[in-house]
Amino acid sequence: MSQTKVEAPFVANNFAHFKNLVINGDFRVFQRASGSTAIGNGTYSTADRYKTQFSNDGAGTTQQYTMTDADRATTGHSFAWQWDVTTADTSLAAGQLAYFRHFIEAQNCSGLAYGSSAAKTLTLSFWVKSSKTGTYCCTIEKHDSTTYNLPLEYTISSADTWEFKTLVVSPTAGSTSLITGSGGDIAQDNGKGITLYWWLAAGSDYTGGTNNTWTSNTNHLATTNQVNWLDSTSNDWFITGIQFEIGDQATDFEHLPFDVQLQRCMRYYQKIADASHGGAGDAISGGTHYSGTAVYLTTIFHVPMRAEPSMAVSGGTNYFIRYSNGGNDQFDSLAIDDSASPHLFEFFASSGQNHSGGTAGHGCFIRTNNSAAKVAADAEL
């Protein structure tokens, strides 16, 4: 039997794979939309795995930004996430805010040893650029047991210039023992483990935090130094290359193959059909007429999902069509039955979705029937 020698550097490098706890840190995956889209409050609108909170008197958009050659030469990345103010809010009320979050699944935090004296030091690094200089805040939020928050300031020093930021996350920041005590535990489950925040504006309800000090106060997420990025429609803001890793210094960004990054995103959100790509007529699924009115269908997910997902539908009058027995019927939407699973959807169209016609026992298949029709599975945190 022949043997193949495996060189030591190859073995060592293998252990470094998936060092980045952030998924889609290089902003290549935008399954929902990549073009300019209004910022929602509590929604995932554009970039996969990043949820926006936007409660203020202003308005804005986000989109995928394609880097110039000069951008790539500086950052080493091909894409970024772009934010723009379209309606300014120059005076934030106490409860108003603008931020986005990235949720890290709890069972992916098992190597951090939080809740023990061996809790690891972590490092958050990213590239950022904005027309608005000044102090901004990130928050590290630890879930499970007791929720603890760590506000961390960083400064954008030069307008419209890419800057690399490194924030060290000590488990004892501020000479605290919250993370090393039993309340620092993170459960080994599919819920939230650690949430990363990037603040763009924070009303006074949220700025009671002390920079680089862990707190159990769930409102002390930012500091009073946080700028109000919403104060002008001239303001923009870009970020890419987010990496969150064990250790007290930032290491080279972990570039994953696109298919790997996409599949990691699909644990949390995956498209079933999207007619915007090729016009109406995208196949969705095949199924059976359960009755003269109701058709039942199943779709197996490309990647098992984090939990039983919701079905996200962009529908409307006659946005979908069912074919069977040489005929068809147009209908408006879809709904899932109670047999939800992380592995597949069982769903139906019936009178509640404006579906009718057909014969029990006949096979059928359904397609999109409008270029705006979409169907997706959503199991985000």
Q: How far is the CB of 315 from another protein (least distance, A)?
A: 5
In whole angstroms, give the CA distance from residue 369 to residue 127: 42
Smallest Cα–Cα separation from 315: which of 354, 257, 357? 354
Q: Looking at 333, 358, 366, 368, which residue binds another protein (CB under 8 A)?
A: 333
For residue 59, give every residue at least 6 positions away whose Cβ sits within 8 Å of its Cβ, in sequence order, or none: 38, 39, 85, 86, 87
**Residue 296 makes contact with another protein by CB under 8 A:** yes
**Residue 269 makes contact with another protein by CB under 8 A:** no
Q: Looking at 7, 69, 259, 338, which residue binds another protein (CB under 8 A)?
A: 338
**Residue 141 makes contact with another protein by CB under 8 A:** no
3-state SS, residue 74 = helix
Q: Looking at 106, 186, 340, 364, which residue binds another protein (CB under 8 A)?
A: 340
112-120, 179-187, 227-235, 314-322 -> range binding another protein (CB under 8 A): 314-322
**Residue 350 makes contact with another protein by CB under 8 A:** yes
In whole angstroms, give the CA distance from residue 249 to residue 125: 9
Q: Looking at 337, 343, 362, 363, which residue binds another protein (CB under 8 A)?
A: 337
Main-chain dihedrals φ then ψ at residue 43, nearest 5 degrees = -135, 160
Q: Looking at 76, 134, 183, 191, which residue binds another protein (CB under 8 A)?
A: 191
**Which lies closer to another protein via its Cβ, residue 234 or residue 339?**
339
Q: Looking at 116, 213, 314, 328, which residue binds another protein (CB under 8 A)?
A: 314
**Residue 307 makes contact with another protein by CB under 8 A:** yes
**Residue 266 makes contact with another protein by CB under 8 A:** no
Q: How far is the CB of 307 from another protein (least distance, A)?
A: 4
- DSSP for 94-126 reads TT-EEEEEEEEEGGGGGGG-TTSTTPPPEEEEE
How far apart, in Å, are the Cα atoms of 199 and each of 143, 194, 228?
A: 19, 16, 9
**Residue 61 makes contact with another protein by CB under 8 A:** no
**Which lies closer to another protein via its Cβ, residue 244 or residue 320?**
320
**Which lies closer to another protein via its Cβ, residue 179 or residue 294?**
294
**Residue 83 makes contact with another protein by CB under 8 A:** no
- Chain centre to alpha carbon of residue 238: 16
**Which lies closer to another protein via its Cβ, residue 63 or residue 228?**
63
For residue 139, give every residue at least 6 positions away whose Cβ sits within 8 Å of its Cβ, in sequence order, or none: 149, 150, 151, 152, 195, 196, 197, 199, 209, 221, 222
In whole angstroms, give the CA distance from residue 1 to residue 379: 47
112: its two tokens = 């951090």
Q: What is the DSSP letter of 84?
A: E
**Residue 45 makes contact with another protein by CB under 8 A:** no
Site for another protein in 148-187 (CB under 8 A): none
**Residue 317 makes contact with another protein by CB under 8 A:** yes
**Residue 294 makes contact with another protein by CB under 8 A:** yes
Residue count of the chain:
381
Tell how strand 295-300 and strand 344-349 pair up. Answer: antiparallel
Site for another protein in 24-43 (CB under 8 A): 41-42
Q: How far is the CB of 311 from another protein (least distance, A)?
A: 4
120 within 8 A of 113, measured Cβ to Cβ: yes
**Residue 308 makes contact with another protein by CB under 8 A:** yes
**Which lies closer to another protein via its Cβ, residue 190 or residue 210?**
190
**Residue 104 makes contact with another protein by CB under 8 A:** no
Long-range CB contacts for residues 261-266, cutoff 8 Å, separation at least 24? 261/23, 261/24, 261/26, 261/28, 261/29, 262/29, 263/302, 263/303, 264/23, 264/24, 265/23, 265/24, 265/29, 265/31, 265/48, 265/49, 266/31, 266/301, 266/302, 266/303, 266/305
**Which lies closer to another protein via its Cβ, residue 242 or residue 379?**
379
Summarize as ranges the residues that interact with another protein (CB under 8 A): 41-42, 190-191, 290-291, 293-294, 296, 306-317, 319, 332-338, 340, 347-348, 350-352, 372, 378-381
